[in-house]
Amino acid sequence: LRLEVQDTERFKVISELTGVFAHEIRNPMQVSRGFLQLLDDPDLPYRQKEYIKLSIEELDRANEIIHDFLALGKPSNSTYGTINVSEQLKRTASLIQTFSVNQQVEFQTDIQDDCWMKADPQKLNQSLLNFLKNAVESMPNGGTVSLSCHNAVDGHIRITVKDQGIGMNPKQVQRLGSPYYSLKENGTGLGMMVSYQIIRSFNGKIRVESEEGVGTEFVIEFPGVRP
Ligand code: ADP
Ligand code: MG
């Protein structure tokens, strides 16, 4: 699959297809996974246990890909509601905290009240989760993730996600947002593509500052609105 991230028409087609298939595919996968688990008897020969384990891992991987794509599949209304980003971000922050419960990652949030913008809250949430997830994953030895949201003086809503992780070189930063770009062993390379697309669809801009061995900061700016 080759996909130009700027190619909005093709992107729309893909996102519609995804929406149709994602949920339908997940159900039979869950059923298969359940039966595989039932088959997994401790007395089975090693080879058979190994096949079951691999099958479950592959199903989980497929599920992960669907998850990363899912936000694309939600019907895209051209008119979004006005949402309170501050409230939204507080919920996102507590979600990510459960995700990273067994990593030694600390969270710092600095969320100004009453930041409003036009967006689909579910999509915005999914895209911010992807940034936060990457931030956590960039720090295998722990560290701090900072999440902030402010009304900038120029009327923009400015959201930042900052980590103290492995960082990226300029070439890697440039490739962010292209499909299947992943440096992780089990990465999908879809999270950033989805997130970049979502943010652009809300007229947002993304700036990345990153240094290898120091960390990464994503600065995301949206046009602000009055409630
Ligand atoms: P995945 O997380 O599945 O690898 P993503 O699209 O979410 O896919 O991210 C693509 C790649 O961008 C990652 O594999 C990683 O190399 C790089 N990346 C994204 N965010 C960060 C970050 N905060 N710190 C370091 N590298 C990052
Ligand atoms: Mg990711």
Nearest to 64 by CA among 40, 96, 101, 29: 29
pLDDT tops 60 at residue 76:
no
| Ligand 1 atom at minimum distance from 186 CA | 3
pTM: 0.76
Residue 17 in this model has a pLDDT that exceeds 70: no
Position in ligand 1 atom list of the atom nearest CA 135? 23
Angstrom distance (rounded) from CA 114 to CA 85: 7
Among 81, 146, 88, residue whose Cα is nearest residue 113? 88
DSSP 102-156: TS-EEEEEEE-S--EEE--HHHHHHHHHHHHHHHHHT-TT-EEEEEEEEE-TTSE
**What does the pLDDT read at residue 125?**
86
Structural element, H or E, at residue 185: none
Q: What is the pLDDT of residue 185?
A: 86
Helix 121-137 vs helix 85-99: angle between axes, to the nearest 10 degrees?
Answer: 40
Q: Which ligand is nearest to the CA of 168?
A: 1
Coil, strand or helix at 224: strand
Ligand 1 atom closest to Cα of residue 167: 25
Residue 70 has pLDDT above 90, yes or no: no
pLDDT per residue over 110-151, tens digit each? 999 999 999 988 788 888 989 999 999 999 999 999 999 999
Q: Using one digit for the tens of pLDDT, what is the confidence trace for 184-227?
A: 988 888 889 889 988 988 899 999 999 999 999 999 999 999 88
- Ligand nearest the Cα atom of residue 169: 1
> What is the model's pLDDT at position 61?
82
Segment (H or E) for 64: helix 46-73
Pocket of ligand 1 (CB under 6 A): 130, 134-135, 138, 163, 165-168, 176, 181-184, 187-193, 216
ipTM of the complex: 0.99
**Residues in a beta bridge with 116:** 84
Percent of the chain with pLDDT over 90: 52
